Chain A
Amino acid sequence: MTPASPRAIVIGASAGALEALSVILPSLPHDFRSPIIIVVHIPPDKRSVLAELFRAKCKIQVIEVEDKEPLRPATAYFAPPDYHLLIEDRETLGLTCEEPVLFSRPSIDVMFESAADIYGRDVTAVLLTGANQDGAKGLLAIAEAGGEVILQDPGGAFAAAMPEAGLKLCPDATVMSLDGISEHLRRIG
Chain B
Amino acid sequence: MIETFEKIEDIEIRLLLEALYVRYHYDFRNYAMGSIKRRLRQAREQMGFATISALQERVLHDETMLPRLLDYLTVQVSEMFRDPSYFRAIREKVVPHLKTYPSLKVWIAGCSCGEEVYSLAILFREEGLEDRTIFYATDINQDALRAAEAGVYDLDRIQLFTENHRKSGGKSSLSDYYHASYGRVSFDRSLRERVVFSDHSLVTDAVFGEMHLISCRNVMIYFDRPLQDRAVGLFSDSLARKGFFGIGSKESLRFSAHAEEFKEFVREEKIYQRLGK
- Contacts from A to B (Cβ < 8 Å): 65-70, 80, 83-84, 86-88, 92, 94-99, 110, 113-114, 117-118, 120, 144-146
Contacts and interface: CB of A to CB of B under 8 A. Distances in A.
A57 to B, nearest CB: 24
A86 B35 contact: yes
Interface in B1-45: 2-3, 6, 32-35, 37-39
26 contacts: A65-B250, A67-B220, A67-B221, A67-B248, A67-B251, A67-B252, A68-B225, A68-B228, A68-B252, A69-B255, A80-B250, A86-B32, A87-B34, A88-B224, A94-B32, A96-B32, A96-B222, A97-B221, A99-B77, A110-B38, A114-B38, A117-B34, A117-B37, A118-B34, A144-B2, A145-B6
A113 B221 contact: no
Nearest to A121: B3
A122 to B, nearest CB: 13
Given A67-B250, A98-B75, A92 B225 contact: yes
Given A67-B248, A68-B225, A144-B2, 16 more contacts: A66-B250, A67-B250, A67-B251, A68-B228, A68-B252, A84-B35, A86-B32, A88-B32, A88-B33, A94-B34, A95-B221, A95-B250, A98-B38, A98-B39, A98-B75, A117-B34
Contacts of B35: 84, 86, 94, 96, 98
Contacts of A120: 3
Interface in B162-192: none
B267 interface: no
A66 B252 contact: yes
Q: Size range of the interface on B?
A: 20 to 34
Interface in B200-245: 218, 220-222, 224-225, 228
B255 A97 contact: no
Contacts of A65: 250
Contacts of A145: 2-3, 6
A144 B38 CA distance: 17
Interface of B: 2-3, 6, 32-35, 37-39, 75, 77, 218, 220-222, 224-225, 228, 248, 250-252, 254-255
Q: Which of B6, B38, B222 has the most CB of A within 10 A?
A: B38
A70 B218 CA distance: 19
A59 to B, nearest CB: 24
Contacts of B222: 96
A147 to B, nearest CB: 11
A167 B125 CA distance: 56
Nearest to A120: B3
Contact of B221 (A70, A94, A118): A94
Given A80-B250, A97-B218, A144-B2, A68 B255 contact: yes
Nearest to A99: B77
B143 to A, nearest CB: 17
Nearest to A144: B2
Nearest to B254: A66
Nearest to A93: B34
Given A96-B222, A120-B3, A145-B2, A86 B34 contact: yes
A144 B6 CA distance: 11
Nearest to B218: A97
Q: Which of B6, B35, B37 has the most CB of A within 10 A?
A: B35
A139 to B, nearest CB: 15
A70 B255 CA distance: 9
Ranked 8 nearest A-B pairs via Cβ? A86-B34, A96-B35, A66-B252, A67-B221, A114-B34, A68-B255, A94-B32, A97-B77
